[in-house]
Amino acid sequence: MAVDPNKSCGHCAYCHAGHANLCPNVEFIGTPPFDGAMTQRIWVPRSQIVPLPEQFSPLDAVMLEPLGVAIHAVDLAKPRLLERVALLGCGPIGLLILQVLKAAGAGEVLAVDPLDHRRAMAQRLGADRVGASVADIQGWTEGEGAPLVIEATNSPTGFRDAVLSARIGGRVVLVGIPDGDTYTLPAADARRRALTIKFSRRMGEVYSRAIALVAAGKVDVASLVTHRVALAAAAEAFRNHAADMPGVIKTLIYPNGVERAG
């Protein structure tokens, strides 16, 4: 079984319109003021329990939620068959978006990230070109930019970088949450390109597709989990992520002991 951390109210206009991810009354596990799952026991309503195939491990189960975020982002992006895509950010969400793009029939994926180990993982998972900055995308596209840009960073300059990576008339999907909750963006660059810009929030009803992608081997979630720790090591794990420690992409915390890792 997997747990969908999103508990929408089910009664508002957004829920009735099929946009439970936009519910203003949502209770989301692990988002203040709602407690998370770093405990030996947690109670969730039956409506948030998702049945899984028998072969799924606990690791597979917990990675379905971030995979769902990636699927929702690609749904918003609507990549065209064999279309070139610029992907900004190769953290866990970006790497999942990369794999979903490939499964959706996207063409050349140009992935950039400032960290060496993330670029290496992106290349391993199917990125056609990997670089460290927007300058690489501009070079690969001879200054034209990509028709579709998906941003999945935590940088306040992520919006600006996405705009500078897009060609005239292009589309941009913003998935990342910037540090400080503020973007830096020169408006003229976006206006002169007449860009179509979408913001992605969490996910829609995508668990069934997430399960199918993992079951079919089209998305490799296990490779993203570079570290597994017990609850006692959780604070150190958070510090390592905050410091962008080399080799760290995704850490799973096992409250009942790492020996239960699947």
**pLDDT at residue 128, rounded to an integer:** 97
What is this structure's pTM? Answer: 0.94
- According to DSSP, residue 120 is labeled H
pLDDT tens figures, 221-257: 999 999 999 988 999 999 999 998 999 999 999 887 7
Reply yes or no on whether the pLDDT at 261 is more than 70: no
Query: Structure tokens of 116?
Result: 């060496």
Reply yes or no on whether the pLDDT at 220 is more than 90: yes
pLDDT tens figures, 163-184: 999 999 999 999 999 999 999 8
Please tell me the distance from the alpha carbon of residue 199 to that of residue 234, in angstroms, as a whole number.
31
DSSP three-state, residue 88 = strand
Three-class SS string for 170-186? EEEEECCCCHHHCCCCC
**Dihedral through CA 102, CA 142, CA 153, CA 172, nearest 10?**
-70
CATH superfamily ID and name for 66-199: NAD(P)-binding Rossmann-like Domain (3.40.50.720)
pLDDT band at 262 (very low <50, low <70, confident <90, very high): very low
- In this prediction, what percent of the chain has a pLDDT beyond 70? 98
pLDDT tens figures, 129-150: 999 999 999 999 999 999 999 9
pLDDT tens figures, 200-218: 999 988 999 999 999 999 9
Reply yes or no on whether the pLDDT at 86 is more than 90: yes
- Delimit the CATH 3.40.50.720 region(s) of the chain: 66-199
Give the contacts of 141 (CB within 8 A, at least 6 positions apart): 84, 86, 110, 167
Reply yes or no on whether the pLDDT at 260 is more than 70: no
- According to DSSP, residue 167 is labeled E
Q: Which of 4-13, 35-44, 185-194, 197-206 has the lowest mean pLDDT?
A: 35-44
The mean pLDDT value of the chain amounts to 93
